[in-house]
Structure 1
């Protein structure tokens, strides 16, 4: 009788194969899971540690944009004087400056043979001197910027009458720097009117500065 054959070897190989077949995929899956977790953690840390965006807040409106106070706005005010007083007035043209002096008030004034007031009216003459104290040549009609105001607040513009008490400016006047002109400006007013103020403005009355003289 022959001895029994040895146990078959394929059983051991089968167990090893099964172990490898089951363990190797698990090992690979575990490694992949670890890689996924590391990547997930890295991504999570990146999001958390990212710097917040820089926000630029709008700045407040500068205080210099505020509207100027009423006190800061300069408003031309008329200068005042009495008969015999001089006022320096500026014109609209660069360098135009005149020193004006009211030297005499004639109320009533006497017209010449060609200049007589209407019925119930009289002539009033204001004598003044104009000195060019600026750098520009004065070329204007002084009568255009002259106004007479009576005690009741009524105002009158000049007329073309001539009077015996003084020589008129004769229409326009051209005065160089440093030169002086003297003349009378005549007004026709109601007989009861009493002259109270005289106003004079350069540029035929359109300059910003007005001089005012009290006549009584």
Structure 2
């Protein structure tokens, strides 16, 4: 277990605890965000019906396929982030795939843009001018018996070299 969680630290991960702000650089000049993990909801319940954070459907055939609901073998975990653009460039990215949850066995789960009753999730794309802020949830689907150990976030849709990591209790 320790080796699985140590591996990201060897790759330049900035450690942090829930509530701690980590400053992350992107791969392009002027890209910098202060990222704070502010809340973890485990388990999270899927939202049902229209929600404020989803776009209205214009035509049924243009609606995305529904994400299957947890079936008892898995559960949802919702993690709330606060993003502040502290760089000089406009931040435009997708927060859900930029976030990953690690369980106690080292398995890694990519964030989803799945609404839950925990609160408003991020839109598919967040655009922040320098000095701008945004808050929202990223959802993870994990096995029912998995133990969440850490959450990671990186700019550039999760491909940035600078990775923030928060340990979970």
Shorter-chain TM-score: what band? 0.7 to 0.9
The residue aligned with 2:13 is: 78
- In structure 1, stretches of 5+ residues that fail to align are 1-74
Give the aligned CA root-mean-square deviation in angstroms: 1.4
- Normalising by structure 2, we get a TM-score of 0.80
Q: In the TM superposition, what is the alpha-carbon distance from 1:209 to its structure 2 partner?
A: 0.7
| Larger radius of gyration between Structure 1 and Structure 2 | 1
135, 141, 147: which one pairs with 2:88? 135
Counterparts of 1:203 and 1:175 in 2: how far apart (Å)? 14
Give the Cα separation in 2 of the matches to 1:212 and 1:135. Answer: 23
Q: In structure 1, which of residues 193, 197, 201 is the aligned counterpart of residue 154 of structure 2?
A: 201
Partner of 2:77: 124
Give the 5 Å matches for 1:1-216: 77-113=12-48, 116-216=69-169
- Structure 2 runs not aligned, ≥5 long: 1-9, 50-66
CA contact 2:34–2:85 (8 Å) conserved in 1: yes
Q: Alpha-carbon deviation of 1:144? A: 1.7
Q: Which structure's residues are more often helix, by fraction? A: 1
State TM-score, norm by structure 1.
0.63
Q: Which has the higher strand share?
A: 2
Shift of the alpha carbon at 1:76?
5.8
d(CA) in 1 for partners of 2:98, 2:116:
19
Q: In the alignment, what sits opposite 1:27?
A: none
Q: Secondary structure at the match of 2:157?
A: helix
4+ aligned runs moved over 4 Å, structure 1? none
Listed one character per residue, the Cα deviations across residues 67-88 of structure 1 (whole Å, up to 9, x for unaligned) are: xxxxxxxx96110100000000
